[in-house]
Amino acid sequence: MTTKSKFAGLALAALGWTAVASAPALAQQGLDEPFQKGFKEALAGKTVAYVPVAMNFDLTEGWYAGLKKELEPYGVKFEIRDPNWNTNAGAQAVTSLISEKPAVMVIHNPDVQTYAKLLQRAENEGIYVIQINMGSAYRSSAFVGANWIEIGERDAEAVVKACDGKSNKIAIVQGALSAAASAYTLKGVENVLAKHPDIKVVSSQAADWDAAKAKAITQTVLKQNPDLCGIVGFWDGMDIGTAAAVKEAGLTGKVFVATSGGGERKGACELVKSGGFDLDLSYDVPTQAADMAATIKWLLSSGVKAGSVKGADYTTLIPITKDNADTQTACWNLSDLKK
């Protein structure tokens, strides 16, 4: 480029600026960013409705706190419907929300089928639907959450690896049979076991997400198989019972306990540090909340028709082990998130 044409280009650009932004090209007067106003207008006064399976546990409280923190400063109204583990109440909440027409619905499905048709109807009515952590059979504008198959696979791989050269006997402590998250995780575990025919599953039972049941099952299994080398658990909130049984049998460190959860400090890092869990795959809840908020911002500001785009944002898992359980970033505190 010659000096002359460069000069001409600059002049043209300057002209363009003045024409488009109709602002003087003088640096000390500032420039208006042309898109932020539209973004703010797209968010202000909009309603986001949140329907978890229940409040009062680390995951749903964390998502709620994170979403509120991200969206309320933009004037987004936040509504919450708590079905308290009652699938029926949840379906009613979703139905009544459809007629109330919020801009976005953030939905935590109790199973694959119940809400599927309702969510489709909601998107037909122009409501963006974001499904979190547990998806339904209907694919909506966005899914934000953990990949349960991956969790099952990675937990099982870790247990298989820990069993190398040992008895090759493992146990599986499932969640509730009706929960998709439990069934998907089991599929992931099966995927890995199919590749390792030498591994013997001595017990695969559902503990209903209940720590006391998980403890009872694990105690019995350990008495029958004291040479057990690993346990795949499906949720750290339940596997606190699994870990207690292993500890009481005096087998901490000998039986590898792998589980997964939302990464709340007391429920995850503290228990990894104390030796209860050897691996806790965390789908870091604050990150998930931030992902959800980002998706909501994008959808609202884009103005796309609800249901016309369909994407997914699977959470990158944080494996919590003894190596990182002490760090500030591996886990999170609900009380800090609420501040």
Residue ranges that bind other proteins, judged by CB under 8 A: 54, 56-58, 61, 84-85, 174, 177, 202-206, 208, 210-212, 215-217, 219-221, 223-224, 237, 240-241, 244, 247-248, 266-267, 270, 334-335
Q: Minimum Å distance from CB 202 to other proteins?
A: 8
CB-nearer residue toward other proteins: 292 or 334: 334
Q: Minimum Å distance from CB 203 to other proteins?
A: 5
Q: Could you tell me if 168 and 229 are in contact, meaning their C-beta atoms sit under 8 angstroms apart?
A: yes
Distances (CA, A) of 124 to 46, 90, 129: 18, 20, 10
- For the beta sheet containing 142-145, the strands, ordered from the edge strand earlier in sequence to the opposite edge, are 77-80, 47-51, 104-107, 128-132, 142-145, 311-314
CA angle at residue 284 from 282 to 255, to 5 degrees?
15
CB-nearer residue toward other proteins: 190 or 210: 210
- For the beta sheet containing 256-261, the strands, ordered from the edge strand earlier in sequence to the opposite edge, are 200-206, 169-174, 230-233, 256-261, 279-282, 318-320
Between β-strands 169-174 and 142-145, what pairing exists: parallel, antiparallel or unpaired? Answer: unpaired
CB-nearer residue toward other proteins: 190 or 270: 270
Q: Minimum Å distance from CB 244 to other proteins?
A: 5
Q: What residue type is 162 in one-letter code? A: A
| DSSP symbol at 174 | E
Q: Minimum Å distance from CB 214 to other proteins?
A: 8
Q: Minimum Å distance from CB 114 to other proteins?
A: 18
Query: Nearest-CA neighbor of 238 among 262, 274, 202?
Result: 262
CB-nearer residue toward other proteins: 123 or 278: 278
**Terminal C-alpha separation, the chain:** 56
Q: Minimum Å distance from CB 77 to other proteins?
A: 22
